[in-house]
Amino acid sequence: MEKYQVLKQYFGYTSFKEGQEELVDSILAGWDVLGIMPTGAGKSICYQVPALCMGGITIVVSPLISLMMDQVKALNQAGVHAAYINSSLTENQIAKALQNATMGQYKIIYVAPERLETERFLYFALNADISMVTIDEAHCISQWGQDFRPSYLKILQFIDRLPVRPIVSAFTATATTVVRKDILEILCLQNPKVLVTGFDRENLFFEVRTGKNKDDQLLHYLQNHLEESGIIYCATRKNVEKVCEFLESRGLPVTRYHAGLSPQERKENQEDFIYDRKPIVVATNAFGMGIDKSNVRYVVHYNMPQSLENYYQEAGRAGRDGMSAECVILYSPQDVHINKYLIENRGENSELTEEQAELVLKNDRERLWAMAGYCKTNYCLREYILRYFGTSRWQDISGKYCGNCSVCVNASERQEYDTYGYKDFWDEYDAYESNGYTGVVYDEKKDIVYFGAKYEKMGAGRGIGPNIGGGKGAGKQSAYGTGVYGESAVNKRGAGSETFSVEQLTEKQQELFKQLKALRLRIAKAVSLPPYMIFTDKTLLEMSVKCPTNKQEMLQISGVGENKYQRYGEDFEEVILQHL
Ligand code: ADP
Ligand code: MG
């Protein structure tokens, strides 16, 4: 099938998002690819569409069971034959799944990296027609990434054993140069197309609040966001318990998640959240990878996280559907101390050598300082993040406001945005960097502004900067891609443009939106699926505005594909007709 046909029929979209089409085209032309796109940018489509266009099977390596289950459920909803093989299945179920796979029943198979080494899976793979191996969350391969998984290192061995080398595609949201280089080198990507999309998530509003009483602030915030779904991240289990109890006592529909709960309870709580039975979850960072819930409207960090990598990933879980959403940190200086303590007392990781452990610790500390800098900066928060990841909105910051972060919103109101300081600050960082200086950058008041350290490459002793601070603009990006694609690092559109929100609807449209959501919830309950897997908020919002009442009109709505239409289309038409 042709790519646009696949996109429309299975996923209900008529156009690709930034970067998707280039990656799909490269794969279809037989190239290896590395796609670096922020959380919520739509990486899955980049390999799922070609997987369906090509003959043979695509194997997707994924780090978490919950992530695989979520993806496979969503694919099955879209009418795609997909399966996962992991430790949640019994040996009998695995045998059955592999038997089905051998008979060509699945186009896409998700596996944990450990699975690739097992006899049974290898036997299957050696005798199957495998067109592509995809490595999702590919940063797990790098000890410089925040979720290093040594078993990812074995993926290459697996690929090398296959009788015909498949196309290899890798995807991650981690954009630092070291991690990117590790992925390319360790996976031995052949002549790959590397594509880095803009890291700007325009629909996200960023805010740092520094008030005294976090509980009061949080409560006040949530009372202004009733009926919306959101995540509240805390640094420790104890905090999760405390905050959850507090919110419960105030009558909010909240659940909790951390590694101290039994697996059963974690599963139940996660489902309560995903199925919108308890639309608010208080959690440690154990929660989230594998949560593709698209209607998360806010992510509040009750404590500052340990790194901007973590922060952008966690905050990025807001607004995956493209509608406006908020990312708020409730910052107190205490958070820096808590995190420092957590980093320094993490316990031994037996998978690492002593030297490796030391370097991981050093890098973690440096990441923490950069994070602290974000909470204290007087500069555009969006720009701060983008520069950390090696991109930028503006070459020259003077007089520019993103208009969608707390600093810029307040600055433009107060008319006292200190552009001089901003430029000065990055110049200073650049100077430090080019002198190979490693250390903290202070402002006059000796507050930490930013930590300008260089990362060291393990063993070799080479200094490879993670592009922190990124220098002046996107031009500084180094391209590993050898193909025709340059790296589109700058996102030209203004923040907040092209985003939708419920407030923009008329009263009558809002009423319909409510009814459509209610219908979605009824269907979701009946078929035991999370509501967002039936249709996303964005899809329902578009229906509320365009009021489609027949198949042709319905299929024009973004997110309504052939399969979904057949399953649910008429039910939604009926509600719309009644409303009209
Ligand atoms: P990532 O893995 O990059 O974090 P996902 O693959 O989970 O992102 O996709 C995020 C959201 O974007 C999903 O809700 C998905 O349905 C939506 N999406 C992906 N591609 C498109 C597209 N071409 N048009 C509209 N929505 C899309
Ligand atoms: Mg993903």
Mean pLDDT of 233-246: 95
Residue nearest (by alpha carbon) to ligand 1 atom 20: 42
Angle formed at CA 367 by CA 361 and CA 372, multiple of 5 degrees: 125
Residue 158 phi/psi, 5° resolution? -65, -50
Tell me what pLDDT residue 85 has.
94
Check whether 544 has a pLDDT greater than 80: yes
Check whether 443 has a pLDDT greater than 70: no
Encode pLDDT of 15-68 as tens digits.
999 999 999 999 999 999 999 998 888 999 999 999 999 999 999 999 988 889
Q: For the chain, what is the total number of helices (H) and then of strands (E)?
A: 23, 15
- Indicate the range of 24-38, 327-341, 541-555 predicted with least confidence: 327-341
Helix (H) or strand (E) holding 10, with range, is: none
Angle formed at CA 150 by CA 144 and CA 154, multiple of 5 degrees: 120
Mean pLDDT of 252-261: 95
Mean pLDDT of 513-519: 94
Domain at 200-345: CATH code: 3.40.50.300
Q: Is any ligand 1 atom within 6 A of the Cβ of residue 47?
A: no
Model confidence at 460, in pLDDT bands (50, 70, 90)? very low
Strand order in the sheet with 254-257: 204-209, 325-330, 296-301, 229-233, 280-283, 254-257
Q: Is any ligand 1 atom within 6 A of the Cβ of residue 536?
A: yes
Lookup: tokens for 334: 């205490």
Residue with tokens 């140069």: 177
Cα of 15 from ligand 2 centre, angstroms: 19
CB–CB of 376/447 below 8 Å?
yes
Q: Which residues contact 162 (CB under 8 A, 6 or more apart)?
A: 125, 126, 130
Cβ count near 401 (within 10 Å): 20
DSSP 77-130: HTT--EEEESTTS-HHHHHHHHHHHHTT--SEEEE-GGGGGSHHHHHHHHTS-E
Tell me what pLDDT residue 500 has.
65
Atom of ligand 1 nearest to the CA of 20: 23
Tell me what pLDDT residue 146 has.
66
CB–CB of 557/500 below 8 Å?
no
d(CA 2, CA 4): 6
Q: Is any ligand 1 atom within 6 A of the Cβ of residue 537?
A: no
Cα of 504 from ligand 2 centre, angstroms: 29
Query: Who wins on pLDDT, 196 or 155?
Result: 155
Residue intervals of the chain classified under CATH 3.40.50.300 are: 3-197, 200-345
Residue intervals of the chain classified under CATH 1.10.150.80 are: 502-579
Residue nearest (by alpha carbon) to ligand 1 atom 5: 42
CB–CB of 105/57 below 8 Å?
no
Model confidence at 464, in pLDDT bands (50, 70, 90)? very low
Model confidence at 457, in pLDDT bands (50, 70, 90)? very low
Q: Where are the alpha helices (DSSP H) in 143-200?
A: 155-161, 177-186
Mean pLDDT of 119-127: 93
CA 82 to chain centre: 22
> Would you say domain 3-197 falls under CATH 3.40.50.300?
yes
Tell me what pLDDT residue 474 has.
30
Encode pLDDT of 363-386 as tens digits.
788 788 888 888 887 778 998 888
Cβ count near 369 (within 10 Å): 20
Burial class (CB in 10 A: 0-12, 13-18, 19+), 110: buried
Query: Who wins on pLDDT, 499 or 35?
Result: 35
Query: Who wins on pLDDT, 69 or 162?
Result: 162
Cα of 45 from ligand 1 centre, angstroms: 7
Tell me what pLDDT residue 191 has.
92
- Indicate the range of 18-22, 227-231, 492-496 predicted with least confidence: 492-496
Atom of ligand 1 nearest to the CA of 292: 7
Instruction: Give the chain's mean pLDDT.
Output: 82
Q: Which residues contact 447 (CB under 8 A, 6 or more apart)?
A: 376
> Would you say domain 502-579 falls under CATH 3.40.50.150?
no
Model confidence at 150, in pLDDT bands (50, 70, 90)? confident
Check whether 485 has a pLDDT greater than 90: no
Q: Is any ligand 1 atom within 6 A of the Cβ of residue 22?
A: no
d(CA 198, CA 18): 8
Check whether 358 has a pLDDT greater than 50: yes
For residues 130-156, one letter each, b for 16 or more C-beta atoms within 10 angstroms of the residue's C-beta and e for the rest, the string is: bbbbbbbbbbbbbbbbbbbbebbbebb
Tell me what pLDDT residue 189 has.
95
Check whether 145 has a pLDDT greater than 70: no
Q: What is the largest CA-CA distance in the chain?
A: 69
CB–CB of 366/348 below 8 Å?
no
Mean pLDDT of 494-505: 59
Tell me what pLDDT residue 561 has.
94
Check whether 557 has a pLDDT greater than 90: yes
